[in-house]
Amino acid sequence: MQQHSDEPRVRGVIAPQSFQAGMATVECEPPIGVDLVGFLRRHQPTQAHGRHPLEVSALVADDGHRRVAVVALDLGLVVGSYALHLREIIARAAGCSPDRVLVNCQHTHSAPPPPGLIKMGGLSRDLSPQEQQYWENLVLAAGKAASLAASRLGPARMGTGSSLLDNVSVNRRERIATGEVILGYSPSGPCDRAVSVLRFELDDRVATVVNFACHPTVLGPDTLEASSDYVGPLRTAVREWTGGECMFLQGCAGNVVPLNSVWDVPGYEITVGRAVALEALRASAQAHPAPRRLDRTEYRSAVPMARYRWVDDGEFESNVDSAEQEIELRLENLPSIDEVRALRADLQKQVAQLRSSGAGPEKWNSIDLHALWAKQIEEQIANGSVKRALRRRVQVIRINQAAIVGLPGEPFNEIGTVIKNSSRAPFTMVCGYTNEALGYVPTSDEYPFGGYEVSLSHRHYGYAAPLARGADHVLQDTARNLLDRLFPAKAGAIA
């Protein structure tokens, strides 16, 4: 069982020459004038190029028999046929099959809106030609990053490390005096503070993978530039310190935000990014690329004395693999067509009244989006196409003695903690926002308290109703089964 202490915990591997790894990064900046997703009150398009460019990073690993690719995107999310197409392009470029590709979105709220969803940003509900072109360019950038990473494959040694970071992230489900839950600050709520690292030692450089669970929402809706938020400064700091590549994988951040969030002006995202980077470097610096033991020798002196040294203690097998499983998650409490029709009429009336009174888009834009959602669901109920369940995939990538678990959607951080603590792998990272978006996945015990994630967020994903209680257990059980398949014997956990 992985348990966290305030000291970095390290386990490493020294793999035979058959193990190879390569990493590459490609920038993919949107043009000025596109809308940004993440805050409905932000109705203006971008007005400047961002201080922290949007990137695509790719890691390719190969054990001589199997190959996997892990790709990180500076995006909010990807959905539907676009997500499937993206995996296919990456697979072709990396030289593996699509089921051996893991795509993780870091979930910045300062990136262009994705195709396939109601557009949650700007005043238009359709993607502009510029925005459509950006998503085409992104596919090319992802393929290029994967191809570059594959071309850089070379003998590698891998170490792993994890440390805890205080005073940067916080559970956001604040319970106010009325008993309601708002998006705020809940310091007593569960919060996964682990900063986990994979460190690849290549011939002439180091490549680092950082995993941390926290919404990239340091920047708020008044910042009118595309940005990777705190993730960009994090990567920059790690690259400057190590002299090598760095990629970021978002954890289970559904209910976790920066302690200081939604700033009106840029700047503080650098502070947050550097804080996470320093903790990642702390863990990485002790990520020795081999299992170790303390060796004791007698040491002659004027007094009895023993001298201790860390020494390498064997090696782990080179083993690269992947497994995934389809899951079905039910929606609960679907509304009737009369309920949706009445809601649509009421919302449209509110928008009309606000606009006639001279109120700005920041007042009515979010209501207008909910009215559009109600209209779409009304049509789906009428023609019989409304969804009552969602199908997605859970994925696990194995790289030697490390597991990278990929969950769809925005899982609450407790889900990731349960998976890590029950994993057979000596070292486990858990990522949300993987492959295809799903929506929020709350823990079952949070349903009675309601709040945005439980009761309202499904509208932003275009679903008629929230996920049924128990979706957290489906994710946890499926991930555990896949981990057991890739790690059939209980290996030594990180000390």
Q: Give the span between the Cα atoms of 81 and 79, in whole angstroms.
A: 7
Angle at 59 between CA 89 and CA 286, to 5 degrees: 165
Residues in the chain predicted with pLDDT less than 70, given as ranges, are 1-17, 316, 490-495
CA distance 398 to 396: 7
User: At 8, is the secondary structure helix, strand, or coil?
Assistant: coil
Distance of alpha carbon 186 from alpha carbon 477, whole angstroms: 27
For the record, the structure tokens of 468 come out as 């049924």
In whole angstroms, give the CA distance from residue 395 to residue 416.
Answer: 13
Three-state DSSP at 150 gives: helix
d(CA 470, CA 488): 26
Whose tokens are 């893991």? That residue is: 102
- Whether 170 contacts 162, CB under 8 Å: no
pTM: 0.93
d(CA 51, CA 246): 18
What's the rounded Cα separation, in Å, for the pair 329 and 326? 10
SS3 call for 240: helix
Q: Return the H-helix or E-strand segment holding 364.
A: helix 361-383
Q: What is the DSSP string of 49-105?
A: --SS--EEEEEEEE-SS-EEEEEEESSS---HHHHHHHHHHHHHHHTS-GGGEEEEE
- What would the two tokens of residue 248 be? 């970021």
* Residue whose tokens read 């939604």: 262
Query: What pLDDT, on the 0 to 100 scale, is given for residue 197?
Result: 98
Main-chain dihedrals φ then ψ at residue 20, nearest 5 degrees: -135, 150
Which of 73, 130, 69 has the alpha carbon at shortest distance from 106? 73
**Bridge partners for 439 per DSSP:** none
Distances (CA, A) of 330 to 197, 206, 333, 339: 34, 44, 10, 20
CB 341 within 8 A of CB 379: no
Give the torsion through C-alpha atoms of 384, 385, 388, 391, to 10 deg: 150
Cα angle 293, 164, 322 (rounded to 5 degrees) comes to 70
Rg (CA), the chain: 23
DSSP labels, 10-50: EEEE---TT-EEEEEEEE-PPPTT---BS-TT--SPP-B--
pLDDT digits (tens, 9 = 90+) for 15-74: 445 899 999 999 999 999 999 999 988 999 999 888 999 999 999 999 999 999 999 999
